[in-house]
């Protein structure tokens, strides 16, 4: 990524240009109407729709939609109402943390998905915890640079993302004299990431370097990652057995010994 596009020095003009490349998310209009009426919540079909968008927007988790669908309609309505109320009542303190904690009590809703739901309620100040936004805001860290940086989806990581985004948002507002929304910065980061990866070509992201030609460091081979719900993911073994189409393990082929010729037998 070009040096002048990093979070510490991107201009408002460059920000607006890359923001224009983003295809918008359809936030449930009913949520805004309920918010204005003083009783904001999300219904189950609306949450399922947002989760479906998230899966298409970023990394695909095959069981996430089913886990979210296992929540009852009343549980989703009550939990989202409580979260939005907690957020509004604690705007000057840690309202977003309390709201995210409430939302993650729902099955299948981790910090990343919870931040998406809360960002729909307050898109001006609450960023969606997307991979692209996290990597963009942490681009200048000394380790794990690049669009393929591994991420752990925890509230601690979200707080780091939130704080960095507010610094960038306020700087851009001061420079331009215009309001800059948190959701706009996430959109810009997503558009910037996808545009960069398309220019690099398939499979090129992991070796992407920075302006000074420093290559991004690969993740340790034995490091355990975590899924969105904080569960550890075991690293793949280097001696995996393959599986056939029916899912049965296939034994690795034994190497064939060369037969000795008569001359070699002497």
Q: What would the DSSP string read from start to end of 193-245? A: HHHHHHHH-TT-GGG-B-TT-PBPPPPPTT--EE-TTS-EEPPPPTTPPEE-T
- Tell me the pLDDT tens digit for each residue of 11-36: 877 766 666 655 555 566 788 889 88
Q: Is position 260 within any domain?
A: no
Q: Is position 53 within any domain?
A: yes
Tokens 């669009």 correspond to 147
- Is the per-residue pLDDT at 87 higher than 80? yes
- Tell me the pLDDT tens digit for each residue of 178-218: 999 998 999 889 888 877 644 343 444 443 333 222 333 33
- pLDDT-above-70 percentage for the chain: 63
Instruction: Give the domain extent around 177.
Output: 3-207
Number of structural domains found in the chain = 1
Q: Is position 221 within any domain?
A: no
- Residue 80 to residues 50, 103, 243: CA-CA distances in angstroms? 13, 6, 42
Confidence of residue 228 (pLDDT cuts 50, 70, 90): very low
**What does pLDDT average to over the chain?**
74
Q: Is position 228 within any domain?
A: no
pTM of the predicted model as reported, rounded to 2 decimal places: 0.66
Q: Which residue has the higher pLDDT, 140 or 129?
A: 129
Q: Is position 164 within any domain?
A: yes
So what's the pLDDT on residue 248?
A: 42
Q: Is position 178 within any domain?
A: yes
So what's the pLDDT on residue 217?
A: 38
Q: Is position 219 within any domain?
A: no
Q: Is position 65 within any domain?
A: yes
- Is the per-residue pLDDT at 221 higher than 60? no
Give the other-Cβ count within 10 Å of 59's Cβ: 13
Range with the lowest mean pLDDT among 4-18, 94-108, 153-167? 4-18
């Amino acid at each position: 990524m070009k040096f002048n596009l990093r979070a510490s020095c991107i201009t408002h003009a460059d920000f607006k240009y890359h923001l224009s490349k983003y295809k918008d998310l359809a936030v449930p209009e009913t949520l805004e109407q309920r918010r204005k009426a003083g009783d904001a919540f999300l219904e189950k079909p609306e949450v399922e729709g947002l989760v479906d968008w998230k899966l298409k927007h970023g990394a695909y988790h095959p069981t996430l939609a089913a886990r979210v669908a296992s929540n009852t309609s009343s549980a989703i309505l009550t939990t989202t109402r409580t979260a939005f109320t907690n957020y509004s009542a604690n705007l000057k303190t840690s309202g977003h943390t309390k709201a995210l904690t409430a939302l993650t009590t729902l099955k299948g809703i981790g910090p990343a998905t919870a931040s998406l739901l809360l960002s729909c309620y307050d898109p001006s100040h609450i960023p969606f915890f997307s991979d692209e936004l996290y990597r963009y805001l942490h681009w200048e860290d000394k380790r794990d640079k690049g669009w393929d940086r591994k991420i752990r989806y925890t509230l601690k990581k979200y707080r780091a993302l939130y704080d960095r985004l507010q610094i960038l948002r306020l700087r851009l507002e001061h420079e331009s004299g215009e309001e800059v929304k948190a959701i706009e910065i996430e959109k810009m980061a997503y558009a910037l990431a996808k545009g960069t990866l398309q220019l690099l070509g398939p499979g090129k992201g992991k070796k992407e370097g920075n302006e000074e030609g420093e290559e991004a460091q690969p993740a340790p081979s034995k490091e355990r990652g975590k899924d969105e719900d904080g569960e550890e993911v075991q690293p793949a073994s280097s001696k995996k057995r393959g599986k056939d189409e029916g899912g049965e393990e296939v034994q690795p082929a034994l190497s064939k010994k060369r037969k000795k010729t008569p001359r070699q037998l002497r």
